[in-house]
Structure 1
Amino acid sequence: MSTSCPCGLGEPYDLCCGRFHDGSQSAPTAELLMRSRYCAFAVGDSAYLLRTWHPSTRPSRLRLDGRQKWTGLEIIGRTGGGLLQNEGTVEFRAHYRLRGQSEAQHENSRFLREAGSWFYLDAQAG
């Protein structure tokens, strides 16, 4: 896939989040994991979402609504989550269309790094 990545960084999908989705690389920061997870929602990759969800909070299965079209991502703020850290948060607003209505999901997500890999832990709705 050579189209622009849905995460909003402006890179081609396969050079951006696609490399995380296919398992060839791991997201090096909490923000890049969050962007790759947003992208996974946009491209319908529920396996990646489950794989990057922390085992302590991961659901047993995940069904994505194919009618929900993700249309944009705004990063509002972040704390920690860097290359040398093991915890971080990313506050964001994810825009989508569902049944002809424009909506947005606003949350502050928590991330943990364990054994060198970042995982989504949980979120507080905004």
Structure 2
Amino acid sequence: MLTDDKDMETRCPCGSGKPFAFCCQPALTGRKPAPTAEALMRSRYSAFALGAIDYLIETTASRKRSPGDAELLAEQTQVTTWTGLEIVSTEQGGTNDTTGMVEFKASFDSPEGSAILHERSNFERENGLWVYTDGEVELIPA
């Protein structure tokens, strides 16, 4: 699905309502980096939904990466089905900013049940590109 440009009707997993080919796919395939912190957050949500592990690692601040990240992310994406994304708020994170915050709620199903991940994610620019640094996370049973 990451490289199928033929189906313009496939909606983006991030919930924007736009076709995947014009929303998060260009970022996930490396054709066009996310221009804002919110766009990066949306593309990372889509990457979690689609199992794009390399993209998740590449868009994490280099100082925050660990050797076991790929294995952990692969395990998480195999047992989690992401079912919806709501952007709550954003602070900075625009095309001319160097830092930003995106607060969101992401619904998911897992073997343990359904829940909502409520996070205030922090982003910064690294070598001119937006990357995820960390966040304040709350899990809310659904």
Q: TM-score range by the shorter chain?
A: over 0.9
For 1:91, the equivalent position in structure 2 comes to 103
SS in 1 for 2:63: coil
Larger radius of gyration: 2
- Deviation readout 1:92-125 (Å, 9 max, x if unpaired): 1111011272211111010001332000001111
For 1:123, the equivalent position in structure 2 comes to 135
Q: Separation in 1 of the partners of 2:61 and 2:112?
A: 33
Matched, 1:50 2:62: no
For 2:12, the equivalent position in structure 1 comes to 5
Matched, 1:109 2:109: no
- State the identity %: 42
- Greater RCO (CA < 8 Å, at least 6 residues apart): 1
For 1:23, the equivalent position in structure 2 comes to 30
Q: Separation in 1 of the partners of 2:44 and 2:66?
A: 15
TM-score (ref. length: structure 1) = 0.94
SS in 2 for 1:56: helix
Divergent runs of 4+, >3 A: none
Q: Separation in 1 of the partners of 2:65 and 2:124?
A: 13
State the Cα distance separating 1:58 from its structure 2 match: 1.6
Q: Aligned pairs, how many?
A: 126
Q: Separation in 2 of the partners of 1:51 and 1:39?
A: 14
SS in 2 for 1:20: helix
- Deviation readout 1:55-78 (Å, 9 max, x if unpaired): 011222233331210000011111
Q: Separation in 2 of the partners of 1:45 and 1:100?
A: 23
For 1:75, the equivalent position in structure 2 comes to 87
SS in 1 for 2:13: coil
Unpaired segments of 5 or more residues in structure 1?
none
- CA RMSD in angstroms, aligned pairs only: 1.3
Instruction: Check the 8 A contact 2:61/2:126 in 1, yes or no.
Output: no
SS in 1 for 2:62: coil
